[in-house]
Structure 1
Amino acid sequence: MEVAGLTIGAVALVSLFKDCVDLFSMITAARDLGKDAALLDTKLDVEKMPPILLCDPDTREIVSRVLESIKVLLSEGQALQRDYGLKRVDITKTASGNSAAESTTGYQGASSFRLAKFLKQFEELKIKPCQTSDVDRHNFKKVTKQFRWIIVDKKKFNSLIDHLSYFNTSLTNLIPISSASSASASEAAASSENDLIHIKDLAQLDLVIEVTSNTRPSISEAAVVANSALISSRVIRSLCDYLQWDDLNTWLQSASGLYWLSGKAGSGKSTLMKYLHQHEKTHALLQTWANGSELIFASFFFYDLGKWEQKSQSRLLRSLLFQILEYDPSVTEHALPHMWREACYSHQSFPELEVPSIEEMATALKVLCSMLHADEKVFLLIDGIDEYEGKDLDIARFISELESFPNIKIMVSSRPHPAFITAFGQRPKMNLQDLTKRDVSTYIQDTVASYPYMRSLSRQSRASFDRITEKLAQKASGVFLWVILACRSVVEGCDDFCTITELEARVDELPKELEDLIEHMLENIDPRWKQDAMKLMHLVYTNEGCQGFDPIPTLGLYLSHEEGLGRDASQSGIRAKQVPLLEMEAQCRVMEGRLRSRCCGLLEVHYGHRDEGSIEACTVKFMHRTVYDMMLQPDISNRLFKDIKRESFNSYAVLSEIWCRMATAPSDSDFFFFNALYPLVFGDSEGCSPAVTLKLLSRLQYIFGQMSLSPWLGAPRYLQHDAKCRRYCNDFSLALTLAIEMGMDNVLTLSSSKSYIARRLPAYTASKEVQSAT
């Protein structure tokens, strides 16, 4: 309740509180206590903050006693000096007396807002503080203006804080939080936020959070809110001052249209689009745009590594149609009339309908957009349209046509290709590399400038040191992936104890474009590791290009790498044995180090894919899909992999071997079996030697035939094998069955000859003998 509304019976209580405020204002920390001075001042300041609320007459007397106790505690001069670490100072005799004389009204800490409001309302009451004589009041006022208590012993002073905290806690418990005339709990919290929101010093807010985290949780929470608001305002103000971009929050809430997120490769477009797709605030802001209408949210990401189907217009249209029709199936007949009729005339329970043509699906999407009712709105989020397999102009024109419908809002991301600049350049947009320039500079300071060897070089030649960091920031142009790779190169130079001139030359040699930088790094791999590095890169490249493949397990790669990648893959036995989990984890760390030393950071170990904590969750991937996209270019892949192709390196066989070596890991054997099988299926379609593939299928039979597999193909008996037999490559009792089921035509062509089967397939020969006998 406002002080101006006090009744006469509460005047004594308020005037007593005013005396306590004046006594509080006399205490300040000595400057020679350093940071502790600010900490102690903040602790004291927080104790000024309990609200002055009205209470009923019965409680008022008790509150008055508590305030009187506070006044006595702060008035005992000898006790303050002896027990509480304070020293009395006459400020009228010091040079800085004027600045401290009116500390009650001039203080800018956490309590200043509330105290300033109280003092203003107190003056409006025009009452005398406390029921004391004019002489006593004059002396009290003179003392509070002339003297200050300086904190000189923080340990003793903390005991004073503890006593004050006890009294304030008592006040909080005595005065009810909610009553007919007082604020509710939420209003009280808002009051604390109002007290703190005016503070514009992050360090001061941090101090409030620190000193109240355990003692004043409501104040601590309010300080956290104020801290977050201050940081947000600084960020927004900074963006307005330094960047030319259209505010995304405003666009999400405003009228229909298109927003273009533009950025170079590796600048973080897909990361931001995924974040926006998942974040609840995006959906909340779109609901403001929908204004009560039904909101349909559909999305598509062109990013799926190398898969043509994922990058095609057909896949885009099918995905968007599915998401919209799933939300409102009632319009399916109007959108896809031919498919609807086909489904009607089919007598099958689940007919396999023919997928509509691209033209039919494009028309269907436009029909859906035109049929939207006034109470329906559609938001489309489409990431990476520059990776579309068709022409940029075609996808840009199609999106522009969708944008023209009144209840459609579209957000797209792409690299700044000319067709997109022409089509979307005048729409609301954001150039992501401009947004990240400051973060890139921070990253350079944290990784290169702070590196111990670089710090020592900076003392020798500060100008050269500054040129290195400035060139890195300039060349990066806000592209995080570029600066990550470039900083790694500089750090490697530091580890080799290069001179500062050599480091500067190293930075000068780095190409400005990301793809050129990746190729530069690949071509400059240490010759000792070049062949090994290319094999490792080709394994991941092959794995990423095959739809449905799980990422390569780090443990399996380590085990295969120990035996030599691709060393006579068709004949090599798998000497697998159970090892402790800790040893497996150590082997994964060893492989991670090998990848780092051989592949210049382009291959990375990732943690967490399947069940958390399982060893196969530790996998190997490209550090960024830009690396894979670059290798898709025939001239680059031929140049990088020509040597290993010359020696007939079979990536599919090695991938199968990697998963076979995982057979003894404590996990689902079915999972390992199919991951070992699929590379052989893809390898057969890519022209790998059918004789080698058939032997590798036999190896699967030997390894997994001794394990417990779920029934597969309805014939688990095919996985029976003599455990004592070591010539598994001569037993094809399951191999041909697998080849038939998986459609491995080249293997079947090889084995179609009766003479080949008779020589290689004992099970087949035995069955013929049985048939002859009968």
Structure 2
Amino acid sequence: MFGPQTSMSQTIGPVTAGNGSTVYAGTFNSSVAQEQQNAQQALSFPEMYNRLHEISDATSGTCQWILENHTFRDWQNAQRGLLWIKGKPGVGKSTIMKYLWNDSTAETSSETQITASFFCHGRGVDLQKSPMGIFRALLHQIVEKVPQFYEDLENKFRARCKSQGSHGSAWAWTEPELRNLTKDYLSSCRDLELLIFVDALDECGEDKARDLLDFFQGVVAASEAQSDSGLRICVSSRHYPLVRSDVLYQVIVDGENLADIQTYVAQKHKLFRRNTQYDELVSSISWRAQEIFQWSVLVVPRVVKSLEGMKPVELILQ
């Protein structure tokens, strides 16, 4: 079967799939290639990666605590499992999720490890804050990297087009269809390690957030039947509306980010270290943040601007 990067020439040599493996060599019809291209495009949407790119990268020296967290390491060493990262609004959950995502993709050197992610956005378009958007984004990434899933999706797509007409006008994927496809693909991988990140479930709404957590738990449970593969899923949310105790791996950010806040504040004020009240200023901002990383992110630029304007530290503290 052709990988998603197949050209439309009539005769081809080896084709490289998303995971770098050679999956096909031969000839094909250009109209079929266009149909295959449309199949994957049917999952895509313009804002699919917007939230991921909007989140600032972690400041140097921050977020490293989670890599040493015992619960995180237990999940990381497990063959399967659901990790739930949770905390109050503004504590930096999305930054941590992006940090983990970057860390996992940077270390991926094996063709058997597949990673996929989606970062929900409550202020975005509907697909950025709905299960439909999550399923489309995850499937889009997975089928690109796993040839057998790509082939299965293409077969389903062509069958629908043949029986119902053009996608987008005569028919469209439904949420239940994509939900089932996502479950089937995630839970039935062979000889692969799947690593999935989904940030901010709560931004999909209370009922949908609960349903999504149940869904991902169910997917991990279903994968138990595949002894030759691994599936680890990491999700994040606020404490509410997901008040649950049945998730084995849980990491609470609240209180764990105090050193990160101080590191962030100190780095942003490093140009003013010669100020005799530098330590007091950094300490005051870090303490006043009260675990809310976002508060320090909003306040620090104002303080820096005041310092650049030679405003007395006493007035800034006030």
* Secondary structure of residue in 1 paired with 2:118: strand
* Displacement of 1:342: 2.0
Question: Which blocks of at least 5 consecutive residues in structure 1 are unaligned?
Answer: 1-231, 288-292, 459-464, 507-774
Residue 380 of structure 1: aligned partner:
196
Residue 213 of structure 2: aligned partner:
396
CA distance in 2, matches of 1:351, 1:471: 56
Do 2:187 and 2:219's aligned partners in 1 also have CA atoms closer than 8 Å? no
Query: Taking structure 1 as reference, are residues 321 and 489 closer, same or farther at Cα in structure 2, changes over 3 Å only?
Result: closer
2:139 to 321, 328, 331: 321
Query: Taking structure 1 as reference, are residues 345 and 481 closer, same or farther at Cα in structure 2, changes over 3 Å only?
Result: same
State whether structure 2 residue 76 is matched by structure 1 residue 252: yes
Spell out the pairing of 1:32-43 with structure 2 (5 A cutoff). Answer: none
AA at the equivalent of 2:199: D
CA distance in 1, matches of 2:135, 2:68: 33
* Displacement of 1:351: 8.0
Q: Deviations over 1:734-766 (max 9, x none)?
A: xxxxxxxxxxxxxxxxxxxxxxxxxxxxxxxxx
State whether structure 2 residue 237 is matched by structure 1 residue 414: yes
* Secondary structure of residue in 1 paired with 2:244: helix
AA at the equivalent of 1:277: W
* Displacement of 1:303: 3.8
Query: Taking structure 1 as reference, are residues 486 and 340 closer, same or farther at Cα in structure 2, changes over 3 Å only?
Result: same
Residue 94 of structure 2: aligned partner:
270
Spell out the pairing of 1:360-759 with structure 2 (5 A cutoff). Answer: 360-373=177-190, 375-389=191-205, 391=207, 392-404=209-221, 405-406=223-224, 407-419=230-242, 421-422=243-244, 426-432=247-253, 434-445=255-266, 451=272, 455=276, 466=280, 469-491=282-304, 495=309, 497=311, 500=314, 502-504=315-317, 506=318
Query: Taking structure 1 as reference, are residues 299 and 441 closer, same or farther at Cα in structure 2, changes over 3 Å only?
Result: closer
AA at the equivalent of 2:298: L
Query: Taking structure 1 as reference, are residues 449 and 327 closer, same or farther at Cα in structure 2, changes over 3 Å only?
Result: closer
Do 1:441 and 1:473's aligned partners in 2 also have CA atoms closer than 8 Å? yes
* Displacement of 1:258: 1.4
Normalising by the residue count of structure 2, what TM-score does the alignment of the two structures yield? 0.59
* Displacement of 1:256: 0.5
Do 2:269 and 2:304's aligned partners in 1 also have CA atoms closer than 8 Å? yes
Do 1:302 and 1:384's aligned partners in 2 also have CA atoms closer than 8 Å? yes
CA distance in 1, matches of 2:106, 2:116: 16
Residue 193 of structure 1: aligned partner:
none
Query: Taking structure 1 as reference, are residues 372 and 498 closer, same or farther at Cα in structure 2, changes over 3 Å only?
Result: closer
CA distance in 2, matches of 1:294, 1:452: 48
Q: Deviations over 1:103-156 (max 9, x none)?
A: xxxxxxxxxxxxxxxxxxxxxxxxxxxxxxxxxxxxxxxxxxxxxxxxxxxxxx
CA distance in 1, matches of 2:112, 2:274: 59
CA distance in 1, matches of 2:96, 2:177: 32
Normalising by the residue count of structure 1, what TM-score does the alignment of the two structures yield? 0.27
* Displacement of 1:454: 5.8
- Give the count of matched residue pairs: 248
Do 1:336 and 1:361's aligned partners in 2 also have CA atoms closer than 8 Å? no
CA distance in 1, matches of 2:95, 2:175: 29
Q: Deviations over 1:382-406 (max 9, x none)?
A: 1222222463222222222222222
Aligned sequence identity (%): 23
Residue 175 of structure 2: aligned partner:
358
* Displacement of 1:255: 1.8
* Secondary structure of residue in 1 paired with 2:239: coil
Do 2:80 and 2:231's aligned partners in 1 also have CA atoms closer than 8 Å? yes
Do 1:246 and 1:429's aligned partners in 2 also have CA atoms closer than 8 Å? no
CA distance in 2, matches of 1:297, 1:443: 29
Residue 302 of structure 1: aligned partner:
120
* Displacement of 1:317: 1.1
Spell out the pairing of 1:31-180 with structure 2 (5 A cutoff). Answer: none
AA at the equivalent of 2:295: W
AA at the equivalent of 1:315: G
Q: Deviations over 1:535-560 (max 9, x none)?
A: xxxxxxxxxxxxxxxxxxxxxxxxxx
Do 1:449 and 1:455's aligned partners in 2 also have CA atoms closer than 8 Å? no
Do 1:246 and 1:430's aligned partners in 2 also have CA atoms closer than 8 Å? no
Do 1:339 and 1:354's aligned partners in 2 also have CA atoms closer than 8 Å? no
* Displacement of 1:257: 0.3
Query: Taking structure 1 as reference, are residues 253 and 277 closer, same or farther at Cα in structure 2, changes over 3 Å only?
Result: same
Relative contact order, CA 8 A, sep 6+: which one is greater?
A: 2
CA distance in 1, matches of 2:133, 2:289: 34
CA distance in 2, matches of 1:439, 1:399: 30
CA distance in 2, matches of 1:328, 1:449: 46
AA at the equivalent of 1:321: L
CA distance in 1, matches of 2:262, 2:165: 65
Do 1:300 and 1:383's aligned partners in 2 also have CA atoms closer than 8 Å? yes
Aligned-pair Cα RMSD in Å: 4.3
AA at the equivalent of 2:129: K
Structure that is richer in helix per residue: 1
Residue 130 of structure 2: aligned partner:
312
Q: Deviations over 1:627-680 (max 9, x none)?
A: xxxxxxxxxxxxxxxxxxxxxxxxxxxxxxxxxxxxxxxxxxxxxxxxxxxxxx
Q: Deviations over 1:142-183 (max 9, x none)?
A: xxxxxxxxxxxxxxxxxxxxxxxxxxxxxxxxxxxxxxxxxx
* Secondary structure of residue in 1 paired with 2:276: helix
CA distance in 2, matches of 1:384, 1:440: 21
CA distance in 2, matches of 1:483, 1:268: 11
Residue 34 of structure 1: aligned partner:
none
AA at the equivalent of 1:299: S
CA distance in 2, matches of 1:441, 1:347: 59
Query: Taking structure 1 as reference, are residues 439 and 317 closer, same or farther at Cα in structure 2, changes over 3 Å only?
Result: closer
AA at the equivalent of 2:261: V
* Displacement of 1:366: 2.1
CA distance in 2, matches of 1:446, 1:367: 46
* Displacement of 1:311: 1.6
AA at the equivalent of 2:85: L
Structure that is richer in strand per residue: 2
Do 1:245 and 1:429's aligned partners in 2 also have CA atoms closer than 8 Å? no
* Displacement of 1:274: 3.2
Do 1:246 and 1:428's aligned partners in 2 also have CA atoms closer than 8 Å? no
Q: Deviations over 1:501-551 (max 9, x none)?
A: x544x3xxxxxxxxxxxxxxxxxxxxxxxxxxxxxxxxxxxxxxxxxxxxx
CA distance in 1, matches of 2:253, 2:275: 30
